[in-house]
Amino acid sequence: MTRNVAVTGIGWVTPLGCGAEPVWKALLAGRNGIGPITRFDAAPYATRFAGEARDFRPVDWMDVRTARHLDRFVQFAVAAGAMALKDSGLEADKLDPYRAGVLVGSGSGGIETIEEGQTRLINRGPDRVPPLSIPKMMINAASAALAEAHGLKGPSFAVTAACSTGAVAVAQAASCILTGQAEVMLAGGSEASITPLSMAAFSACGALSKRNDDPVHASRPFDLRRDGFVMSEGGAVLVLEEMARARARGARIYAELSGWGLTSDSHHITAPEPTGEPAARAISGALAMSGEPVDAVGYINAHGTGTPLNDPAETRAIRLALGAAADRVPVSSTKSMLGHMLGAAGAAEAAIAALAVHTGRIPPTMNIEEQDPACDLDCVPGSAREAKGLRLALSNSFAFGGHNACLAMRRA
């Protein structure tokens, strides 16, 4: 039996709000979710701003007791999963529980829980480490909690691939459907890394922007004066469903997840492979699996972090993969508005690619004042663009460790 994978639901917790519709509208309007850090005293830090999920209230999605037992990154996943299910029109209690599963990844897992536990250990001794520390910090806690919340008993696990985690999770969840292990999968990523240690560590390795006087304009992918990425937090979950099943129930289908490509740079733990060839092969792999030529590509949601090395390397990768077609394909980075959600970014951006196909609209890249000549693509600067007839969109995710992923979303 030939199977295809439909995207039928989207759930988002982001610095621009919660839920598919409001966040999508904010992205098309070019709104920015970056501001001063409020979760801890960042005064001594070199970078004092981030993309906090300020509108998120755990008790909107779970009872107080449950919320206390979950790390913030797990709370994001549970909330985004509930939104995605509601958006899809599926009712969990009417699903065959053994044919529905969960795959939500994270880059850091419960880093907030780890930091709190370490502080207690040092200040108060080993007997004062909270007993729920392990189940709160483990990366698979998000998948486990989301499966438990809805009684889903199919495949449930987690992946981690740094900033490509969300994209890899979506691809692996789709594989569960293609191989017949499940009919429905909740797939995505979640991250809550706006913590003292994370901010200090990313700053120490020189990855973060230091535009403390102008945080709204700090995330500036493809701009000549970019100086690093902007840390962000949130969760993104997609409902993936076997296409024939989705059609039979009359579901609204955002897009078909038609292909993906996964490669490794095998080059450096943080720097991208400078020629862009491994990333280009991920893009080509997604097209090959989709059975589509390069001329079919109508939009690329770029990884586009705004770091000095990433943006030119991604530009080279796109040119290698698309050849002459790269000159006509719009390429935008929504990290210019959302910041970098790390392990959640790939899933959030996969949903953006699906919505671009579904609506025929392309979100902009904000904060481009002088485009870097080394990033000589159509970067959709400043305002959203109509793209009626858009049939195929790609979403790139290229991570620390050289983990490359590209997802292809095709109009269903």
- Confidence band, pLDDT 50/70/90 cuts, at residue 76: very high
CA triplet 313, 315, 318: central angle to 5 degrees? 110
Mean confidence (pLDDT) of the chain: 97
Q: What is the pLDDT of residues 301-353, one digit of tens each?
A: 999 999 999 999 999 999 999 999 999 999 999 999 999 999 999 999 999 99
Distance CA 55, CA 17 (A): 6
Handedness of CA 97, 98, 103, 109 (dihedral sign): positive
Residue found by looking up tokens 């579901």 in the block: 251
- Nearest partner of 184 among 87, 86, 90, judged by Cα: 90
pLDDT above 70: percentage of residues in the chain: 100
Q: What is the average pLDDT across 186-192? A: 98
Which residues are identified as catalytic?
A: 163, 303, 340
Distance of alpha carbon 294 from its chain centroid, rounded? 24
- Confidence band, pLDDT 50/70/90 cuts, at residue 2: confident
For the chain, domains (ranges, CATH) are 5-248 (3.40.47.10), 258-410 (3.40.47.10)
Distance CA 73, CA 227 (A): 27
Distances (CA, A) of 197 to 94, 138, 207, 260, 305: 43, 17, 14, 34, 21
Q: What is the pLDDT of residues 220-245, one digit of tens each?
A: 999 999 999 999 999 999 999 999 99
Three-state SS at 73: helix
Distances (CA, A) of 249 to 88, 158, 238: 11, 29, 18
Q: Is the pLDDT of residue 124 over 70?
A: yes
Q: Which residues contact 105 (CB under 8 A, 6 or more apart)?
A: 139, 142, 158, 159, 160, 161, 165, 166, 168, 169, 188, 189, 190, 343
Distance CA 216, CA 20 (A): 22
Distance CA 265, CA 403 (A): 7
Q: Which residues contact 165 (CB under 8 A, 6 or more apart)?
A: 105, 106, 107, 159, 189, 342, 343, 344, 346, 399
The pLDDT score that the predictor gives to residue 1 is: 61
CB atoms within 10 A of CB 28: 18
Please return the burial class of 393, using the count of CB atoms within 10 Å of its CB with bins 0-12, 13-18 and 19+. Answer: buried
pLDDT above 90: percentage of residues in the chain: 100
Please return the burial class of 201, using the count of CB atoms within 10 Å of its CB with bins 0-12, 13-18 and 19+. Answer: middle
Distance CA 370, CA 381 (A): 10
Q: What is the average pLDDT across 27-32? A: 98
Q: What is the average pLDDT across 35-43? A: 98
Please return the burial class of 174, using the count of CB atoms within 10 Å of its CB with bins 0-12, 13-18 and 19+. Answer: buried
